[in-house]
Structure 1
């Protein structure tokens, strides 16, 4: 279905269940289909499952106000409005990569968010120094904020994102090509300019449960940075490391889903 939020038409998949609600938020230049394995798992367990395409991504429309919307607070407000439209007043968030940064924004300032699980998301200070602390420097990392992708960029970014060579005939290749380049451009620039919550402070102070399920071979994230941070309520007191890359939930769905299921049982 499509739901109009702040002038934007968001494509969203919704499964209504008797259990708690779970919002899944995808990453930069990705789409809701990246959560195929989690969608089925959560639906079988009876959860209400909400999986949108972010503005400028997948089957959603491009943002009508790109500079404002393509930021962690902008995306968070759009998703808050979406959940209100669906009449869901309490929910858990699963955020991957960019989705984890949006998740931290929501979790730290919205009472409706009960808990947060992040993957491929190092909590950072929103500054150039903070990005350097949390992310590995590489040519493919530089693509995260590039407005216009060449075919070579699509292949390089998609392969690093998925942890395997990108099939150029796949839904994910089409999704990367379709993504509004302004979404990458403004997301990175807004983050570097400090538009959003200080994530280091948020994870140190927020009392709500947080889980980290992280691929140990992530091509983007500095694992040691994630390990050394101070957390107020980190589940199991440590990040869970899987033998996977950046998209651990896609690359190792059975292992990821087991940990996700245990965490949701803990927070419910």
Structure 2
């Protein structure tokens, strides 16, 4: 396991890990109230050995600092800007992004903020439009009024969040509960509120008209998203010409079944390694 590092950004000090590979860098962005360690199978496995994988804690999460300016940072655009600053600080000028759940929504937004992205893969992240009902169209349940949006969580809610986030059949590790406990609750409430209000660029328009190679690999049994909705959008630049649903797997396929998910990620990274035109 590689060492934990820290880097200063205008959004606060961010904690990150890097793998030993020297292939195309891949930035990995975790979901709401989790942390970088959900990607440890990839960092410490064959993908991390082949590529320079970077997994970091979003502001207000894990070992990263809480946001210094809550309104600026605790939203999809702010998180994306922080991620871009991280990679700029590491001197990485071209990289792919893997985003999970909230991380996938951030990754979509990053396509509108930076030309450094070689490609984007999302998982468990519905590309929603804006306006009333947009969140419900992509996500199952009422996330605007769920524990995913609450600033303060009880011990029972923390435990429930930790055990269910990755999927009911996914391996449980104590770091998942530690991550929910540590998360700045203001990050949850502010992010969800702004997402529900449609603040920022239209996620669906960016995804459908993605300027970068764009891959979607979901768990077919993901209880938090509407898979049919995601698969039915008219993407113009979708990898392998379709949305992939891994049978029998829930919300975090890279964590629950890395042996099934990693071939998709490896194939995608290999496909986007060469710059356009080479």
Q: TM-score range by the shorter chain?
A: over 0.9
Q: What is the CA distance between 1:7 and its match in structure 2?
A: 5.0
Counterpart of 1:37 in structure 2 is 41
Instruction: Give the Cα–Cα distance (whole angstroms) in 2 for the partners of residues 139 and 88 of structure 1.
Output: 35
Whether 1:124 aligns to 2:128 is yes
Q: Deviations over 1:150-182 (max 9, x none)?
A: 111112222221223799970110110110000
- What secondary structure, in the 3-state scheme, does the structure 1 residue paired with 2:191 have? helix
Instruction: Give the Cα–Cα distance (whole angstroms) in 2 for the partners of residues 161 and 99 of structure 1.
Output: 13
Matches within 5 A, 1:147-158: 147-158=151-162
Counterpart of 1:248 in structure 2 is 253
Instruction: Give the Cα–Cα distance (whole angstroms) in 1 for the partners of residues 198 and 245 of structure 2.
Output: 29
**Equivalent pair of 2:171/2:256 in contact (CA under 8 Å):** no
Counterpart of 1:86 in structure 2 is 90
Counterpart of 1:262 in structure 2 is 267
Q: What is the CA distance between 1:138 and its match in structure 2?
A: 5.2
Matches within 5 A, 1:144-223: 144-164=148-168, 170-223=174-227
Q: After superposing the two structures, state which structure 1 stretch, 13-22 or 62-71, moved more.
A: 13-22
- What secondary structure, in the 3-state scheme, does the structure 2 residue paired with 1:101 have? helix
**Equivalent pair of 1:214/1:248 in contact (CA under 8 Å):** yes
Whether 1:58 aligns to 2:62 is yes
Counterpart of 2:276 in structure 1 is none
Instruction: Give the Cα–Cα distance (whole angstroms) in 1 for the partners of residues 94 and 190 of structure 2.
Output: 29
**Given the superposition, is the C-alpha separation of residues 157 and 220 from structure 1 closer, same or farther in structure 2, using an over 3 Å criterion?**
same
- What secondary structure, in the 3-state scheme, does the structure 2 residue paired with 1:20 have? strand
Instruction: Give the Cα–Cα distance (whole angstroms) in 2 for the partners of residues 215 and 167 of structure 1.
Output: 15
**Given the superposition, is the C-alpha separation of residues 198 and 161 from structure 1 closer, same or farther in structure 2, using an over 3 Å criterion?**
same
Gaps of 5+ in 1: none
| TM-score under structure 2 length normalisation | 0.91
| TM-score under structure 1 length normalisation | 0.94
Instruction: Give the Cα–Cα distance (whole angstroms) in 2 for the partners of residues 44 and 67 of structure 1.
Output: 38
Counterpart of 2:231 in structure 1 is 227
Aligned length: 267
**Equivalent pair of 2:162/2:176 in contact (CA under 8 Å):** yes
Counterpart of 2:112 in structure 1 is 108
**Given the superposition, is the C-alpha separation of residues 168 and 37 from structure 1 closer, same or farther in structure 2, using an over 3 Å criterion?**
closer
Instruction: Give the Cα–Cα distance (whole angstroms) in 2 for the partners of residues 168 and 247 of structure 1.
Output: 12
How well do the aligned residues superpose, as a CA RMSD in angstroms?
1.9
Structure 1 outlier segments of 4+, above 6 Å: 165-169
Instruction: Give the Cα–Cα distance (whole angstroms) in 2 for the partners of residues 123 and 79 of structure 1.
Output: 19
Whether 1:48 aligns to 2:52 is yes
Instruction: Give the Cα–Cα distance (whole angstroms) in 1 for the partners of residues 120 and 81 of structure 2.
Output: 17
**Given the superposition, is the C-alpha separation of residues 52 and 23 from structure 1 closer, same or farther in structure 2, using an over 3 Å criterion?**
same
**Equivalent pair of 1:162/1:251 in contact (CA under 8 Å):** yes
- What secondary structure, in the 3-state scheme, does the structure 2 residue paired with 1:94 have? strand
Q: After superposing the two structures, state which structure 1 stretch, 139-148 or 228-237, moved more.
A: 139-148
Q: What is the CA distance between 1:128 and its match in structure 2?
A: 3.8
